[in-house]
Structure 1
Amino acid sequence: MQNKPRSGTTSAAGPDPTDDSPHAARLQPSNGNPHGVTGPVLFEAYRAAIAPIYDVHLPDPAAQDFHATELRYHTRTASLARSSAAAQILTRTPRHVAGGTDEVMLYRQEAGTLEGEADGRAFRLEPGDLALFDYARPLVSRTTDFTNLVLTTSRASVPAGLLASELHGHVIPGGSGPGSLLTTVLTGLFEAAGALRLGEAEAAFAGVLGLAAGLIEAARLADADTAGASEQARHAAVLAYLDAHHARPDLDADAVAGHLGLSRATLYRLFKAEGGIQAALLRRRLDHVAGALIADPRARRDLAGLAARHGFGGLTQLGRSFKARYGMPPSQYAAFAARQDAAWHTAQIARLGLSRARVTDAPGGPADGSGMR
């Protein structure tokens, strides 16, 4: 990337040193498919390129007309890209999450539709809608032929207000005030990107995310007294109860509803988008098992006991469910966790929405006394 000299920057001491600064470099676009390749050859290259972050499949495996183009601007911590591609199914599993790529996306659907599940919560985007996606959590998306505009930013650069777990898959309707404003800013930024220097682009990207965080928080405050806010509070209370009592093998919908004073119909409505209360309970049990495998070396050596302590009927039941959610059996996940360093362990515990204290599995705490290897 070449830096263009600016007029009026010389002095008796020589050229202005900022001319050589990365901040003075102008953004340059990268073209994801400059020769317009299509078909099976492109699909195989596309699948290999995104394998670290997604498994990708075609709705029609026999389709021969796959196409994909992308124009992307990179800074040191973020990127802004407009992409178009054929219909596809993308799956980001806990295996991908564990492998890294820890980023957050502000996503705008420009053409086509997108629907899926953000860690079990259903969502749908029509043209014009925006959404937030957190790569620290699983994601399944099914698209028609589409065009999107996506700002992707490393977690360290994201405002804290956008990192709440419930914002993964959060949809901002394109016709709403916040949706219209964010669309204007995001599309304007993409059109102006080629005229920006690196430092200017980084400031602009951060500004867009700060604006999104502020708009979402303002909407939350405006809705604080609505029935929707009451539903959110009930949902949070149920999840807290599941976390506290997930180890009970007899825990079921009736027990949860009775303790919290909810009807079964209300409980069903609260968790309809997540597959029901039993599906939510299973996910939390599995996440607690994963947390114990990460944090406690002794838990890795007694998988049958681990299953019993987290509400499973046996190792077979745990193994089948664990592999379906994490892409590998508990024994393999345990071996994988044993090879990682403390920083990885800390990040994974945070991603599971747990803490060191809450994943201490065996009486007396982890063998090394720290909760991490």
Structure 2
Amino acid sequence: MTDVTKGDAPSGQEESGLPANAESPNADPLPHARFTLDGVPEKERYDLWRDSISCIFEVEAERDIRQGPFEASIDANLFGSIMLARTQTLEQRWSRTPALMAKDGMDHYMIQVYEHGDMLWETQEGTRSFPKHGLVIFDLAEQVVTRTNNFSNLSLFIPRTMLDEQLKDRGNQHLRVLTAEEPMVHLLRDHMVSLKSLSSQMTARQAVEISPATIGLAAACLNAVISPDDPRQSSGASMARMTIVRRLIEANLGNPELTVDWITGKVGLSRTKLYELFEQLGGVTKYIRERRLRRALIMLTDKASAHLSIYDVAMEASYASDAAFVRAFRARYGVTPGDVRAAGHRLLVAEGLKTRGVDRRHEAWVHDL
């Protein structure tokens, strides 16, 4: 995925039958990409940054910030199948829109900790801010709008499939706030900080070895921490029922019989109780539609599904026709399935991804996790 300089073979390899200058995979350095605007003309800096960060977010900044001595950097490392990146930049507005989600097809969790600066976002309960030394979890398959002042943060990107299998409450993590008073939050935060500070000393092999432990620690933190101030946190019994129903839905997204009545018959809930469980998510029918369209989006951007036609994808998403599927997909994401398929976003090439000499490999890395 990236050019890495081979380390010299350790002494004594002649005795093991390897020549002294043999390349050792254990000595390959940890993949590292650094996006910086150093050397870029001032008038071009913001536009280059906005184009690069659009791999995850659409950004906006005030005119004086855009036209001033704009600064931004991303220092990213690949730890096997996950990515950890430090971002530093100026005050901006950030959004992840349906059109952007359709464009990139990412299905990751992003866990953030702020080293300095702050982030604000609106909820039904009012404006929330990033907890000092705490964590916030983003589901990159969900919409979000935030704003920040000048900041530095760490972002841990974990593919959904790698974290979901360890979570007790899948699909209810978006914008979940975890405060630093919780010891598990402290552990995960310190682990992220330590990984980044030690990244220059680690090898690619060590990074692969630490990846499962990092994902396990993230899952343990999310499972163990209860956020009583978060209105989305239900009672234990309700959470357990919600988890059962969600897993049933995920396992049957391609089943045309997946309806409210079918679900109530399978889990033994009344229609009223089922509606109550999904009320904060916009209703169970909307939730099923969203998950089916999300599944279709992943298929359209996944190289493993490139052989499937749009009609095949529509059938997999339980649509009666490709025309109905296209209408629903366009209404949700603002583009057609054909637009997404033609863009081929998962075919990004990580090697040599540069503009005006700026290292932009992080863009391909985060998409290809």
DSSP-derived class of the 1:35 partner: coil
Q: Where do residues 134-213 of structure 1 align in structure 2 (5 Å cutoff)?
A: 134-135=139-140, 137-145=141-149, 146-154=151-159, 158=163, 160-162=165-167, 164-213=170-219
**Equivalent-residue separation in structure 1 for 2:341 and 2:86 (angstroms):** 40
Are the counterparts in 1 of residues 178 and 225 from structure 2 also a CA contact under 8 Å?
A: no
**Equivalent-residue separation in structure 2 for 1:183 and 1:289 (angstroms):** 34
| 1:299 maps to 2:311 | no
Q: Which AA in structure 1 matches 2:88?
A: S
Partner of 2:96: 91
Partner of 1:42: 45
User: 1:112, CA displacement in angstroms?
Assistant: 2.6
Partner of 1:25: 28
**CA deviation profile, 1:207-247 (whole Å, cap 9, x unmatched):** 12211212333447xxxxx9632453576699899x73499
Alignment CA distance shift 1:112-1:231 (3 Å): farther
**Equivalent-residue separation in structure 2 for 1:339 and 1:72 (angstroms):** 28
Say which of 8, 14, 30 aligns to 2:12. 8
User: 1:51, CA displacement in angstroms?
Assistant: 2.9
Partner of 1:359: none
Normalising by the residue count of structure 2, what TM-score does the alignment of the two structures yield? 0.62
Normalising by the residue count of structure 1, what TM-score does the alignment of the two structures yield? 0.61
Q: Which AA in structure 1 matches 2:11?
A: S
| 1:78 maps to 2:78 | no
Q: CA RMSD in A?
A: 4.5
User: 1:177, CA displacement in angstroms?
Assistant: 0.8
Question: Is there any run of 5+ residues in structure 2 with no aligned partner, and where?
Answer: 227-232, 250-257, 263-269, 297-310, 347-369
**Equivalent-residue separation in structure 1 for 2:103 and 2:78 (angstroms):** 24
Deviates more, 1:23-32 or 1:142-151: 23-32
User: 1:149, CA displacement in angstroms?
Assistant: 0.8
Alignment CA distance shift 1:217-1:148 (3 Å): same
- State how many pairs are aligned: 296
Say which of 260, 264, 269 aligns to 2:272. 260
**Equivalent-residue separation in structure 2 for 1:25 and 1:51 (angstroms):** 30
Are the counterparts in 1 of residues 314 and 321 from structure 2 also a CA contact under 8 Å?
A: no
DSSP-derived class of the 2:235 partner: helix
Q: Which AA in structure 1 matches 2:113?
A: R
**Equivalent-residue separation in structure 2 for 1:340 and 1:296 (angstroms):** 22
**Equivalent-residue separation in structure 1 for 2:170 and 2:223 (angstroms):** 11
Tell me the percent identity.
20
Alignment CA distance shift 1:101-1:323 (3 Å): closer
Are the counterparts in 2 of residues 112 and 143 from structure 1 also a CA contact under 8 Å?
A: no
Deviates more, 1:99-108 or 1:44-53: 99-108
User: 1:33, CA displacement in angstroms?
Assistant: 0.8
Alignment CA distance shift 1:33-1:283 (3 Å): same
